Amino acid sequence: MKVNKGFKFRLYPTKEQQDKLQHCFFVYNQAYNIGLNLLQEQYETNKDLPPKERKWKKSSELDHAIKHHLNARGLSFSSVIAQQARMNVERALKDAFKVKNRGFPKFKNSKFAKQSFLWNNQGFSIKESDDERFKTFTLMKMPLLMRMHRDFPPNFKVKQISISCSHRKYFVSFSVEYEQDITPIKNTKNGVGLDLNILDIACSCEINNHEKLTDFKQYQTDMKELLGIEIDEEMDTKRLIPTYSKLYSLKKYSKKFKRLQRKQSRRVLKSKQNKTKLGGNFY
Q: What is the pLDDT of residues 156-178, one digit of tens each?
A: 999 999 999 998 999 999 999 99
0.75 surpassed by pTM = no
Interatomic CA distance for residues 106 and 109, integer angstroms: 9
Residues 20 and 146 in one domain: yes
Which of 92-96, 194-198, 207-211 has the highest average model confidence (pLDDT)?
Answer: 92-96
Is the pLDDT reported for residue 24 higher than 70? yes
Q: Looking at per-residue confidence, does 76 or 186 come out higher?
A: 76
Is the pLDDT reported for residue 200 higher than 70? no
Q: Which of 49-53, 63-67, 100-104, 230-234 has the lowest mean pLDDT?
A: 230-234
Residues 55 and 147 in one domain: yes
Q: What is the pLDDT of residues 234-244, one digit of tens each?
A: 554 444 455 55
Q: What is the pLDDT of residues 56-88, one digit of tens each?
A: 888 899 999 999 999 999 999 999 999 999 999
Q: What is the pLDDT of residues 243-271, one digit of tens each?
A: 555 555 655 566 777 777 777 777 777 77
Q: Which of 40-44, 60-64, 120-124, 192-196 has the lowest mean pLDDT?
A: 192-196
Interatomic CA distance for residues 149 and 146, integer angstroms: 9
Residue 277, domain member (yes or no): no
Residue 122, domain member (yes or no): yes
Residues 240 and 168 in one domain: no
Residue 259, domain member (yes or no): no
Is the pLDDT reported for residue 283 higher than 50? no
Residues 137 and 203 in one domain: no
Residues 163 and 210 in one domain: no
DSSP 9-78: EEEE--HHHHHHHHHHHHHHHHHHHHHHHHHHHHHHHHTTS-GGG-----HHHHHHHHHHHHHHTT----
Which of 246, 261, 276 lies at the terminal end of a domain, its last residue? Answer: 246
Residue-averaged pLDDT of the chain: 79
Residue 281, domain member (yes or no): no
Tell me the pLDDT band of 192, cut-offs 50, 70 and 90. low
Residue 253, domain member (yes or no): no
Residues 120 and 221 in one domain: no
Residues 171 and 200 in one domain: no
Q: What is the pLDDT of residues 119-160, one digit of tens each?
A: 999 999 999 988 888 999 999 999 999 999 988 998 899 999
Residues 11 and 69 in one domain: yes
Which of 128, 147, 179 lies at the terminal end of a domain, its last residue? Answer: 179
Tell me the pLDDT band of 198, cut-offs 50, 70 and 90. very low
Expressed as residue numbers, the domain containing 61 is: 2-179
Interatomic CA distance for residues 86 and 93, integer angstroms: 11
Residues 143 and 212 in one domain: no
Residue type, 139: L
- Assign 169 to helix, strand or coil: strand
Residue 69, domain member (yes or no): yes
Residues 92 and 231 in one domain: no
pLDDT computed for residue 265 by the predictor: 78
Residue 271, domain member (yes or no): no
Interatomic CA distance for residues 136 and 131, integer angstroms: 10
The domain tally of the chain equals 2
For residue 165, give the nearest of 18, 16, 31 by alpha carbon: 18
% of the chain beyond a pLDDT of 90 = 40
Residues 140 and 234 in one domain: no
- Assign 283 to helix, strand or coil: coil
Residues 140 and 114 in one domain: yes
Residue 273, domain member (yes or no): no
Which of 179, 201, 217 lies at the terminal end of a domain, its last residue? Answer: 179
pLDDT computed for residue 238 by the predictor: 46
Q: Looking at per-residue confidence, does 231 or 56 come out higher?
A: 56
Which of 13-17, 96-100, 149-153, 202-206 has the highest average model confidence (pLDDT)?
Answer: 13-17
Is the pLDDT reported for residue 203 higher than 80? no
